Each structure stands twice: as structure tokens, then as C-alpha cells.
Amino acid sequence: MYVATLDILTEKGGFDPRAARAIGEAIDLEIARSRAASATKEDVTECRHAVGEEIGALRSEMGALRAELKSDISALRTELKEDMSALRTELKEDMSALRSELKEDMNALRTELKDDMSALRTELKVDGQSIKADVVRWIFVAIMGQFAMLLGVLYFVIKFLK
């Protein structure tokens, strides 16, 4: 504590010298505490260096993580390509099997259709004579029906229009 501070408190403030000394010590204590609480240039410089070191460490760590991430991505890309290649091969095999199965089914259907058509032709040839006779008979009946209808219309015209 300064002597000038004690003089000011005792002479101008009218304090008792013991009270002035106590007040001076309290003021010094508060000033010291406030100086300890405020940052100096040295404190700021130390903090800057510490932050710089931490940033450098983080940068190196980020670089290592970046390299690790790149290698993981590369490995994943390779694995994905292998999986796609295997899937492509499997798909081609399945399509080939499906294609051959479809060809077999089509050939079986074609054979069955040919057999059915051959049986139908044979049946038509056997019954061909009876079918022809039935067709001729139906045509004759149709022609006679048409002729009878025309005679009826002609009779109507002659009888009622005279």
C-alpha cells in the first residue's frame, strides 16, 4: 500500500489511521484480484499459441481421418464392383436358364399343336364325305327357303296390289 493513499484517507477523508490502513489494504487487495482476473498480453499470446498448437493437432488428425476415409471409400467401391459383377453373372445365368426353359416349352407346345392339327385333319378327311353331304343338304334347304319366300312375296304383291 502506498503512503499517499494513507495520507489521502486520513487527512482528506478524516479517517482514523487504523481505519485508513484497513481501507487501503482492502483497496490494494481488490486491485490485485482484478489484475489477476484480467488477461494480459502474455496471457493472450499464450492462449494463441495453445490454440494454434491444438489447431495443428486437429489438422493432422483430420488429414489422417481423410486418408482413412479415402481408403474405406476405395475398399467399398471395389467391394461394390465385385458384388455388381457377381450379380450380373448370376442374372445372365438365370436369364439363360429361363431362355432355354422357354424354348423347351415353346417346342413342346409347337409339337402338341402340330399333333392336334394333324389329328383334326385326319378326322376331317374321314368325316369329309359326311360333312360335304351335310353342307350340300343345308345349301339346298336354304335355296328352297329363299325360293318359297320369294313366291310368297310375289303372291302378296299380285293379290293385294291389283
CA neighbor of 135 nearest in space, from 124, 146, 120: 124
Q: What is the pLDDT of residue 64?
A: 93
pLDDT in tens, 6-21: 777 777 778 788 887 8
Q: How far is CA 64 from CA 75, 90, 103, 106, in A?
A: 17, 39, 58, 62
DSSP state of 9: I
Alpha-carbon span 128 to 138, nearest angstrom: 15
Q: Is the pTM of this model over 0.85?
A: no
Indicate the residue type of 81: K
CA dihedral 87→91→93→98, nearest 10 degrees, is 160
Q: How confident is the model at residue 73 (pLDDT cuts 50, 70, 90)?
A: very high
Q: Which amino acid is at 85?
A: S
